[in-house]
């Protein structure tokens, strides 16, 4: 199955206790796609400004990612600026400049519309819905979102959520969306609204996946080397979705076994993302090194 990824390709300014970087490659679609590249060849649908260097587009292409859907606009590129303090579980946003994404109208080719798998990375739910409606033959849809959209566009967001198969949110977002303090209860409430699978990302505490019939819990890889957590959630989703795509036949249902392995694969993949600034951490993950960490995760909670 071939996967289309709609989301941001952006500039990031990042400061962590380990250093500071400006105008580095960021954006949910970038992290997601690089994380999925060891298993599949995704195509990105995004927009960048005239200020965006061609070298970043080429860099993405070197992973086997199809970058032909990255539009050029005359506006500026999406730019996120943020920092992390001692406790790197919390990202502090300095500024978010949507730039070209403020007026982005994704245009899909006829071939794009025929893709079987779609991932709607964190972006305005109105744009997510516009893309979803253009798909003619899609069999598996994943999506991510964030607190900003839950607060400002909940109605639009729910329209998308009702139609996706796999929803990725962090624990605070799941609680916020459901208006319920118990995480398991909150995730089940959302699961009943439409998505067959709700995947709760909990950073260092791992991931909980909730389906109609079961709960699966993956610990996070016990890394001591957290340099820059930016994009870890997108990398998790990229790893997870790519494993599902690579291990499910078109038209077939995702089995519990494949879902569990996909979540573990995502966790292992995300552990590389935090080991370097921008995409330098996730760029080092390959099939062999991810497989090795999946085996560590397997041993971590077995008894």
Binding site for its own copies (CB under 8 A): 86-88, 181-185, 188, 202, 204-206, 208, 215-219, 222-224, 226, 257, 260-261, 263-264, 298, 300-303
Q: How far is the CB of 257 from its own copies (least distance, A)?
A: 7
Given a contact cutoff of 8 angstroms between Cβ atoms, the answer to whether 231 and 217 are in contact is: no
179: left (phi over 0), alpha (psi -120 to 50) or beta: left
- Residue among 89 and 102 whose Cβ is closer to its own copies: 89
Helix (H) or strand (E) holding 148: helix 147-152
Determine the Cα–Cα distance for residues 248 and 254; give it in Å rounded to an integer: 6
Place of tokens 């033959």: 137
Q: Whose CA is closest to 173, among 197, 149, 209?
A: 149
Q: How far is the CB of 38 from its own copies (least distance, A)?
A: 19
Q: How far is the CB of 16 from its own copies (least distance, A)?
A: 11
Three-state SS at 12: strand
- Residue among 68 and 256 whose Cβ is closer to its own copies: 256
Q: Whose CA is closest to 31, among 15, 54, 53, 7?
A: 7
DSSP code of residue 7: S
- Residue among 58 and 205 whose Cβ is closer to its own copies: 205
Q: How far is the CB of 218 from its own copies (least distance, A)?
A: 7
Q: How far is the CB of 34 from its own copies (least distance, A)?
A: 24
- Residue among 16 and 145 whose Cβ is closer to its own copies: 16
B/e letters for 239-260, b = 16+ CB within 10 Å, e = fewer, are bbbbbbbbbbeeeeebeeebbe
CA distance to 131, 204, 273, 274, per residue, from 201 (Å): 24, 9, 15, 15
- The CB density around residue 264, as the number of other CB atoms within 10 Å, is 28
Q: How far is the CB of 90 from its own copies (least distance, A)?
A: 11
Q: How far is the CB of 159 from its own copies (least distance, A)?
A: 27
Given a contact cutoff of 8 angstroms between Cβ atoms, the answer to whether 282 and 31 are in contact is: yes
- Residue among 23 and 223 whose Cβ is closer to its own copies: 223
Place of tokens 């970058």: 67
- Residue among 53 and 222 whose Cβ is closer to its own copies: 222
- Residue among 292 and 298 whose Cβ is closer to its own copies: 298
- Residue among 6 and 297 whose Cβ is closer to its own copies: 297
Place of tokens 């109609």: 212
Between the CA atoms of 141, 142, 144 and 145, what dihedral angle is there, to the nearest 10 degrees? 30
Which tokens in the block code for residue 266? 């995502």
Place of tokens 């992390």: 84
Q: How far is the CB of 250 from its own copies (least distance, A)?
A: 23
């Amino acid at each position: 199955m071939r996967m289309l990824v709609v989301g941001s390709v952006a500039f990031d300014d990042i400061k962590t206790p380990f250093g500071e970087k400006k105008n580095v490659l960021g954006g949910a679609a970038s992290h997601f796609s690089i994380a999925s590249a060891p298993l599949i060849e995704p195509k990105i649908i995004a927009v960048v400004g005239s200020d965006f260097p061609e070298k970043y587009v080429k860099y993405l292409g070197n992973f086997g990612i199809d970058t032909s859907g990255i539009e050029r606009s005359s506006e500026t590129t999406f730019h996120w600026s943020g920092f992390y303090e001692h406790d790197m579980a919390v990202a502090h946003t300095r500024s978010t400049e949507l730039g070209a994404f403020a007026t982005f109208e994704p245009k899909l080719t006829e071939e794009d519309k025929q893709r079987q798998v779609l991932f709607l990375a964190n972006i305005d739910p109105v744009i997510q819905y516009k893309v979803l409606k253009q798909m003619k033959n899609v069999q598996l849809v994943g999506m991510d979102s964030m607190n900003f959209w839950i607060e400002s566009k909940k109605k639009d967001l729910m329209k998308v959520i009702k139609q996706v198969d796999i929803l990725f949110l962090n624990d605070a977002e799941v609680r916020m969306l459901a208006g319920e303090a118990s995480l398991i209860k909150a995730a089940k409430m959302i699961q009943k609204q439409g998505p067959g699978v709700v995947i709760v990302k909990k950073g260092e505490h791992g991931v909980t996946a909730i389906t109609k019939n079961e709960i699966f819990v993956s610990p996070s890889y016990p890394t001591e080397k957290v340099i820059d957590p930016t994009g870890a959630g997108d990398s998790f989703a990229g790893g997870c979705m790519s494993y599902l795509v690579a291990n499910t036949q078109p038209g077939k249902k995702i089995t519990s076994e494949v879902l569990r392995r996909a979540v573990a694969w995502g966790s292992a993949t995300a552990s590389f993302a935090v080991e370097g600034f921008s995409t330098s951490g996730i760029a080092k993950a390959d099939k062999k090194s991810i497989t090795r960490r999946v085996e560590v995760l397997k041993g971590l909670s077995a008894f």
